Amino acid sequence: MGGSASLIPRDLLGEYQELTFLSKQEILLAYKRFSELLPKEERENACSARVPKSQILTLPELRANPFQHRICHVFSTSETRDDSMSFEDFLDMLSVFSDSATSDVKSHYAFRIFDFDDDGTLDRKDLEQLVNCLTGQGEESRLSRAEMEQLIQNILEESDIDKDGTINLSEFQHVVSRSPDFASSFKIVL
């Protein structure tokens, strides 16, 4: 795939650099990885093709991530809601997860990833699902009912500033922006 680099027009490449937090090499690498996910016959026009979700999830970078489905969902612009990704979606994702992205953008997308029902707030159900994602699938590692209640209660007490029982975006960003290691852990590199 040596020639793949030249398949992105130079202007577009420049614009992508302008619009993402990625460097040229990273964009080219992303392009390479992206076109590898495509079936052979579609590789020619990888810029316009869409990769189905199942293919995206085979990326080693996302394989072990408990939020893989959410990430696909949030970054996908697919009209059919099948969570497939175009190259630009893919770049968007990498840009947000890149090293140099501001923590504002990162926290914005983190919020959307954690917002499992897409209603714009993190309510108890979202938080519960989030905890379940974080504690893994194993039965023994699951928190008990009481523990879960306690945990969510504590979280809401801390972060739900307006006490409406949910955490909204600004509250979320407020909390997360103070965390010393959010920006360094909310990161995916190819």
Within residues 39-98, the interface with another protein by CB under 8 A covers 60-67, 77, 88-89, 91-92, 95-97
Tokens of 50: 């869409």
x/- letters, 105..134, toward another protein (CB under 8 A): x--xxxxx-xx-xxxxx-xxx-x--xx--x
| Closer CB to another protein, 3 or 40, in the complex | 3
Calpha distance 114→174 (Å, rounded): 15
CB-count burial class (<10 Å; 0-12, 13-18, 19+) for 3: exposed
Shortest Å distance, C-beta 40 to another protein? 25
In angstroms, rounded to a whole number, what is the distance separating the alpha carbons of residues 150 and 140? 18
Which tokens is 133 given?
A: 């994602």
Residues from 141 through 180 that contact another protein (CB under 8 A) = 141, 143, 147, 150-151, 153-180
- Residue 62 Cβ vs another protein, minimum distance, rounded to whole Å: 8
Q: Are 83 and 53 in contact (CB under 8 A)?
A: yes
Binders of another protein among 13-32, rule CB under 8 A? Answer: 14-15, 17-21, 23-26
